[in-house]
Each structure stands twice: as structure tokens, then as C-alpha cells.
Structure 1
């Protein structure tokens, strides 16, 4: 005998593009998102008894995403996700939780002749601004914000020495190396009681995102890094200080390795240590360093 232990369903990979036109200045602003909405509630009979009467069709979920994007602001994404999730929980009495994931694709305004263009944009890379919004009936709204795919590199200002050495160790100590990573950073907000409280704090979401991105870049560039671990902790600590409503900050930083190429075999050509100029970029295997940093007295999940 079996029973349904857990279930959720919805619409994934809904591509949404919205343009805001300022009629006074002629300036336009664009937002591109990929949205996923998954619903939970009294839906088990659709699985166990082939009863579709409890199913909000995924096509209807898609249509709701577009209509909501037309009728409400889509930025900050934390607010849009809260509006969208709250709609499903309030609209359908048998739906008790809505899980909304929004990936905002980065577009930057194009500069032409040194001036920002009114309606032309350039995509700088794979970087995205992601949010996960969970609207749970009777409990509130949980929001996790994140930066993904932000690739950074510095050609000096990074060290790695003093690490444990034993019979398995071949890695040499270094006091100067290339450091590169694909930043994945996320920050968990304290639980909000409902949509009105999210709306009351909506300005804090963009401010926290801007601060987290700026702190990540500035700390990465300026810290004379003893290790990825030490640098990422400094980043997280500064984000917590900048955003009082954030409970925890998490980083996952892979090492994008660049190895020196020994060219001494060719006429004694020096290309290692202080003489290194030519490197071989590596794919994998790679180091992967993670941490979760919470406020003092708060136990973080590792």
C-alpha cells in the first residue's frame, strides 16, 4: 500500500519581457525574466484518483504570470514574486503554498557617443539576479535573493600558503596567483508576515542587491586574499551589516584555475614564478568553496 508523500506542480520556464516607456523623456527601460511557479495544497486526488477538478491548469498559471506582469511592477523581483504567489494562495482556497522562482537576465543601457541611449541595451554576460519566493498560507512569505553567473578575475592580490601538508599533498605554496571565480551569492530575508509587509519594505530589495553586488566586487578586487574562504567571509559579513533584514548570506565560489606553463624546455625560456606571463586556463576538476554566514548567536545551516 502506498500514499502520496509530497506533491507540487506548475509552469516552468515562462519567458517574460516587459518594457516601461517614459512618455515625458522618451526613455525606455526593459526587464527580461524567466519565471517558474509551483503550487501545493489539496491536490493529492489529481495524483491518486485521476481527479483533475483540483488542478489549476499550468497554462492558466502561465497566463496569470503575464497578466500579473501587465498589472503590477516586475521590479524588484522580490515584490513581483510575492504578488504572484499571494494571488494563487488567495484565489484558490485549496492551494496553500505557492513557490515562485524568478531569474532576471541582466541588460545594461547602451552608451552611444559617450551618452546613455534611450532605448538600446547590451547583455554583458551570463549574470542573473534570482529570487525564490515561497508564499505559505498561515505562515507568511520567505524570500531568498541571489546573484548567479557573475564571473570575476584578478591577475594578482591572491595567495594560498600554510595549508595542511601530508603524504597526499603536491600543491606548492604561493604568495601571488591569479584568482577567478563564478560568483553565486544568496541572502535569506527574515520571514515577512504577508504581502503588505513586503510592499512596505520594497525599496530594501534593490538596495540590498546593489550593496551585495558592489561589496562582492570591491572586496574581491581590494582584498589581498589569503584564501577564497577568508575573502568570502568578509563579503558576507559586510552584506549582513548593509542589510539589517537579511538573516544569512551564502556564497559558493568555484576556483577557475589558471596554471603556469613551464617553457624552460625551449631554450631555457622562463615562464614560472615571478617570470610567469603565459598561463593555461583550466576547466575541471576545480576547487569549490562554500559558506553560510549568519548573525551572531544565530546558527547557520551548512
Structure 2
């Protein structure tokens, strides 16, 4: 005898572009997103009994995304994801949870002759702003915001020494190295009771995203890093201090290596240690460091 233990389905990779036109100033603002919506509920019979009557067609889910994008603001994405999820659990009585994942693709306004252009944009990096919104009937709305593909590098002020050494260790200690990574940072908001409470928090979403990005870049640049682990912890604790509605902060940082090249074989050309200028960027293998930082439950002494 078997049964469905868990099931969800929906529409993935829905590409959405929306433009806001300010008729008074002529300034336009664009948003491009990739949206995924998955539904849960009383849908087991569609799997076990071939009963399609409980299925909201994935094409209908796609159409709903477009219609709601027309009828409602799509920024901040935390709000739009909450609007999507709330719609599905209120529209269909047998759907009890809706999960929206939104990736916002970066478009930066062009500067032309030193002035922001009213309707022209440039994709200056592959950086993305992401949200995961989970709306569960009778429980509330859980939101995780994140930024990803923020590629950074600094040419000095990174160290790595004092690590465990044994018979498997060949890595040399260093007090000055290149540090580069693709930042993936996420912050989990406290649970919201419903859409109205999300709406009341709207000003917090953009400011917190901007603050998290600023903290990440500033700490990366200014910290004389003892390790990726220590630097990411400093980033996370600052975000928690900045936004009391955030419960946890997660970082995932691949350590993108740049290796010195020994060129002494060519006419004693010195290119290691303090003389290193030419490096070989490495694609793999790479270090991968992760952490989740939350508020301490220990009372202050």
C-alpha cells in the first residue's frame, strides 16, 4: 500500500517584464522577473486516481501571474510574491499553500552626458535580487529575501593562516592573498500574519536589501580578512543589527582562487610572494563556505 507523502506543482520560468511610465516627467522604470509558483493542497487524487478536477492548470497559473502583475505593483518583490500566494489560497478552497519564487534581473539606468536617462538601461552585471514567499493557510506568510551573483574581488588585505595542519596538508599559510567570491546572501523575515502586515512592512524591504548590499560590499572591502568565515560573520551580524524584523542571515561564499605562478625558471624572473603580479585564475576546485547567523538566545551578562 502506498500514499502521497508530499506534493506540489505549478509553473516555473515565467518571464515577466513590467514598465512604469510617469506621464508627468516622462521617466520610465522597468522591472524584469522570472517567477515560479507552486501549489499544495488537496491534490493527491490527481496523482493516485488520475483525477484532474483538482488541478489548477499550470497555464492558468501563468496567466494569473501576468494578470496580477498588471493589477498590482511588482515591487518590492516581497509584496508581489505575497500577493500571488494569497490569491491562490483564497481563490481555490482546496489549495492550502502557495510558494512563489521571484528572481529580479538587474537593469541599471544609463547615464548619458552625466545625467540619468529617462528610459534607457544597461545590465551591468549578472547580480540578482531574489525572494521566496511561502503562504500557508491559517499560518501566515514566510519571506526570505536574497541577493546573488554579486561578484567581488580585492587584491590584498586577505589572510589565511593558523589553520589545522596534518599529514594531508600542503597549503601554505599566507598573510596577503587575493580574495574573490560570488556573494549569495539571504535574510529570513519574521513570519507575517497576512497580506496586510506585509503591506505595512513594504518600506522595509527595499531599504533592507540596499543595506545588506552596502554592508556586504563595505565589509568585504575594508575588513583585513582573517578568513572568509570571519568576514561573512561580520557581514551577517551587521544586517541583523540594522533590521530587527530579520531573524536569520545566511551567506554562501565560494572562494575563487588565484594562484601565483613561479616564473623563476625564466631568467630568474621573480613572481611569487611580495613580487607576485601575474596570477592564474582557477575555475575549480574551489572552497565553499556557508553560515547561518541568528539572534542569540543567551541573556546578556
TM tier, smaller? over 0.9
Where does 1:29-48 land on structure 2 (aligned, <5 Å)? 29-48=29-48
- Is 2:69 the counterpart of 1:77? no
| 1:172-210 superposed Cα distances (whole Å, 9 cap, x missing partner) | 111110000000000000100000000011110111100
Three-state SS of the structure 2 residue aligned to 1:120 is strand
Corresponding pairs, count? 298
Between the aligned partners of 1:165 and 1:2, the Cα distance in structure 2 is 51
Deviation at 1:46, TM superposition (A): 0.8
User: Paired residue for 1:169?
Assistant: 169
Between the aligned partners of 1:240 and 1:261, the Cα distance in structure 2 is 41
User: Paired residue for 2:279?
Assistant: 279
User: Paired residue for 1:62?
Assistant: 62
Deviation at 1:125, TM superposition (A): 1.6
Between the aligned partners of 2:144 and 2:220, the Cα distance in structure 1 is 23
Where does 1:60-209 land on structure 2 (aligned, <5 Å)? 60-209=60-209
Three-state SS of the structure 2 residue aligned to 1:171 is coil
User: Paired residue for 2:240?
Assistant: 240
| 1:63-103 superposed Cα distances (whole Å, 9 cap, x missing partner) | 00000000000000000000010000000000000000000
Between the aligned partners of 1:121 and 1:243, the Cα distance in structure 2 is 30
- Is 2:260 the counterpart of 1:260? yes
5+ residue gaps, structure 2, are none
Three-state SS of the structure 1 residue aligned to 2:65 is helix
Three-state SS of the structure 2 residue aligned to 1:232 is helix
| 1:213-235 superposed Cα distances (whole Å, 9 cap, x missing partner) | 00000000000000000100000
| 1:122-169 superposed Cα distances (whole Å, 9 cap, x missing partner) | 001211000000000000000000011110000011011111111111
Between the aligned partners of 2:126 and 2:200, the Cα distance in structure 1 is 31
- Is 2:296 the counterpart of 1:289? no
5+ residue gaps, structure 1, are none
**Which 4+ residue blocks in structure 1 deviate beyond 4 angstroms?**
none
Q: TM-score, normalised by structure 2?
A: 0.98
Between the aligned partners of 2:212 and 2:173, the Cα distance in structure 1 is 31
Deviation at 1:258, TM superposition (A): 0.3
RMSD: 0.7
Deviation at 1:297, TM superposition (A): 0.7
Deviation at 1:278, TM superposition (A): 0.2
